[in-house]
Amino acid sequence: MGSERIAPVPFHRVSIDDRFWSPRIETNRDVTIPLGYEQCRKTGRLDAWKLNWKDGDPRRPHIFWDSDVAKWMEAAACSLRLHRDDSLEENLNNIISLMEKAQQPDGYLNSYFTAVEPEKRWTNLRDRHELYCAGHLVEAAVAHSFATGDDRFISIARRYADCIDSTFGSGADRKRGYPGHEELELALVKLFRATDERRYLELAVFFLNERGTKPHYYDLESVSRGEEPARNYEYWQAHLPVREQKEAVGHAVRAMYLYCGMADAAIETGDGELAEACRVLWRNVTERKMYITGGIGSTAQGESFTADYDLPNETAYAETCAAIGLVFWAHRMLHIDERPNSKYADVMERSLYNCVLSGVSLEGTRFFYTNPLEVRPGHAMAQSGSENNYRYSRQEWFSCSCCPTNIVRILSSFGQYIYSRTDDSIYVHLYAGSTAEMVMSGIRVNIRQETEYPWKGEVTLFVEPEKSVEFTLFLRIPGWCENAYLKLNGEEVKQFPVTDGYVHIRRLWRKDDILHLVLPMPVRKIEAHPEVRDNCGKIAIMRGPIVYCLEEEDNMPDLQDIRLDSSAELKAGYDGSLLGGCTVITGTACIRQSGGWVDKLYRPGLTETVPVGIKAIPYCLWNNRKPGGMLVWISVN
């Protein structure tokens, strides 16, 4: 192994040509990104940057609107890096011009506080999203500079970061505050990496170190506003210093962004204590508080984590943004140690293929804010069509549109999650038709994947160096897979070393070397930990990384009354005409006969059951036909 730190292969070095992902990425580029711009325009989010709002005018700017615009800008910039689009570039440049004019002489940049409440700047960090919006602006500016080579936007962002740096810190003339909605921490690390200006990293570390210390800065703020201090700071992850936090608590999206910032800071500074805090929190989230779909944050109250193993299905919140945040964090955890551990990539894959993609329709025009694991038949039909009932059917947009704008940016940069490298090692974390370009020991090397994953478990990897070069190739063996099979140039590799979930082969690679990896994908019946009370006596169906669900469209409407025998045979088959083409799971279960219940709420005895065929579809594809019932966890006889 070389001494160079492991790092992701950037998305622009990875071209995607994949049966599963390419249609979603193309729809994101051609439909969802333009739709996001139009929604930002017609809802007033763009006009807010003109700073001409007056009291009594409609569309009063909101404290978080800047973040929606910034996330869209980040997605647009990433898309431009891969595909030329003059119209998109013009729209992006027009917004940058508005921001350039809106920036205050001291570098401050916030449409709401400049136009609506200028006297309240920096007076309520806990609740008012100033630093959160700043973080997304910085992320967007870094992405824009990287994508276009134009420094205009990142210069604006640097002036704002300098303004923040001159305002916050440990000096006597500085405020000792920190973000109420975390995000700026990770953005400042990105800005440091883009500019090599260490002050930005130091400011990120200051915000992390200050969080949860006493006296609570938020208490001091509250008193200065004439308000009572908050009673519980778990919602903001400010109840303890970050290195002392052992359990994921509070608002799930905020937690994910905090943990991302912690991981980034640990990677850049070598802070082992901070890295260990990330590992402790990771175990708590993924071993006690994560849905089988990779969703997190189980309650709508505060969009928050609750107690260990409290994972209700029908009331699951599992916000799309939180799942995306979990992907961001998992990706960072892959790079926090000298070598990646596949447990982080397993969670990244689980969330990407299930809860993240559930957040947007196949057409790219409708969105889920929350991602329940159970919807009652009939109730969904009655309750869909209103933003207040967004749990039951995807909506065109939301007044709080964090999820749609997060979806477009993660899909625009999807390629960065597939590969990582050091100076003499290449890691393959995800399996998707793609080509990664990199240089090993001064020699250009392409790694090309051909696969029909996740519908099939066969992956062919073509190693294509310009000339022979020695390095180690690491291939992830997913945690769900048993009995993986590997061939090198047509010959079975009977014994291959596996470290931290990755098979690794070190050799002098030659042009046209071919690896064939087989990951068997039987249909699996999954049970939950006994303390997950909602799932006692139930199973979920998985095949490969895909979680399946029963949808009313394909089954009896009384989904909750279906009983599956524990030994029932379930078969997988590909249906090219269904939902853009997908593998479905079929089998036979039973259901109670429904007759004889007129004027009765209860009756003695057990109703006879009758056989019924069932058909399960990928969870990420549910609600793409019409509103209806849905069920992930099925009762077992």
Q: Which tens digits make up the pLDDT trace of 359-377?
A: 999 999 999 999 999 998 7
Angle at alpha carbon of residue 417, lines to 68 and 95, rounded to 5°: 25
Question: Above pLDDT 70, what percent of the chain?
Answer: 97
Per-residue confidence band for 58, with pLDDT thresholds at 50, 70 and 90: confident
The partner residues of 440 in beta bridges, in order of sequence, read 443
Instruction: Say yes or no to pLDDT of 207 above 70.
Output: yes
Does 345 score more than 90 pLDDT? yes
Q: How confident is the model at residue 2 (pLDDT cuts 50, 70, 90)?
A: very low
Cα–Cα distance for residue pair 575/345, rounded to 1 Å: 28
Question: Where do runs of H (alpha helix) occur along 289-439?
Answer: 320-333, 342-351, 357-358, 379-383, 402-412
- Over residues 589-593, the mean pLDDT reads 94
What is the rounded CA–CA span in Å between residue 77 and residue 88?
A: 9
pLDDT value for 380: 52
Q: Phi/psi class of residue 489: alpha, beta or left (left: φ > 0; alpha: ψ in -120 to 50)?
A: left
Query: Please, which pLDDT band fits residue 214 given cuts at 50, 70 and 90?
Result: very high
Buried b / exposed e along 165-179 (16+ C-beta atoms within 10 A): bebbbeeeeebebbb
**388 pLDDT higher than 70:** no
pLDDT at position 534 over 70: yes
Closest to 320 measured CA to CA, from 399, 401, 431, 250: 401
Span 454-463, pLDDT tens digits: 999 999 999 9
Three-class DSSP category at 186:
helix
Q: How far is CA 94 from CA 71, 143, 397, 432, 448, in A?
A: 16, 16, 23, 35, 38
pLDDT in tens, 172-191: 999 999 999 999 999 999 99
Q: From residue 333, give the alpha-carbon distance in Å to each of 29, 265, 346, 406.
A: 28, 12, 12, 20
Task: Assign 3-state DSSP to the chain and report helix, strand, coil percentages, each to 5.
Answer: 40, 20, 40
Residues 482-524 pLDDT 10s: 999 999 999 999 888 999 999 999 999 999 999 999 999 999 9
Residue whose C-alpha is closest to residue 294's, from 546, 507, 636, 625 = 546
Q: Answer yes or no: is pLDDT of 384 > 70.
A: no
Q: How many CB atoms lie within 10 A of CB 565?
A: 12
Q: Which fold has domain 240-374+392-413?
A: Glycosyltransferase (1.50.10)
The whole-number pLDDT of residue 391 equals 63
Q: What is the pLDDT of residue 386?
A: 43
Tracing tokens 């083409």 back to the chain, one arrives at: 581
pLDDT tops 60 at residue 381: no
CA–CA gap between residue 37 and residue 634 (Å, rounded):
40
Residue 3, pLDDT above cutoff 60: no
Chain mean pLDDT for the chain:
95
CA distance 330 to 256: 10
Average of per-residue pLDDT across 298-317 = 97
List active site positions: 303, 402
Residue pair 313/295 in contact by the 8 Å Cβ criterion: no
Q: Give the pairing of strands 443-451 and 485-488.
A: unpaired
Please, which pLDDT band fits residue 385 given cuts at 50, 70 and 90? very low
346 pLDDT above the threshold of 50: yes
228 secondary structure, DSSP code: P
* pLDDT confidence band for 387 (50 / 70 / 90): very low
User: pLDDT confidence of 595, banded at 50, 70, 90?
Assistant: confident
Q: Parse the chain into domains and list their residue ranges.
A: 25-228, 240-374+392-413, 419-518, 523-636
pLDDT in tens, 274-292: 999 999 999 999 999 999 9
Q: Within a 10 A sphere around the Cβ of 485, how many other Cβ atoms? A: 15
pLDDT per residue as tens digits for the range 129-162:
999 999 999 999 999 999 999 999 999 999 999 9
* Tokens coding 251: 């608002």
Distance CA 241, CA 237 (A): 9
Please spell the DSSP secondary structure of 384-425, one letter per residue.
TTSGGGTTSS-BS--SS-HHHHHHHHHHHTGGGGTEEE-SSE
- The DSSP H or E segment spanning 145 is helix 130-148
CATH number of 419-518: 2.60.40.1180
pLDDT at 383: 45
pLDDT digits (tens, 9 = 90+) for 258-268: 999 999 999 99
Strand partners, 476: 502
Give 605's contacts (C-beta < 8 A, 6+ positions apart): none
pLDDT value, residue 494: 86
Q: What is the mean pLDDT of residues 241-256?
A: 98
In this model, does residue 379 exceed pLDDT 80?
Answer: no
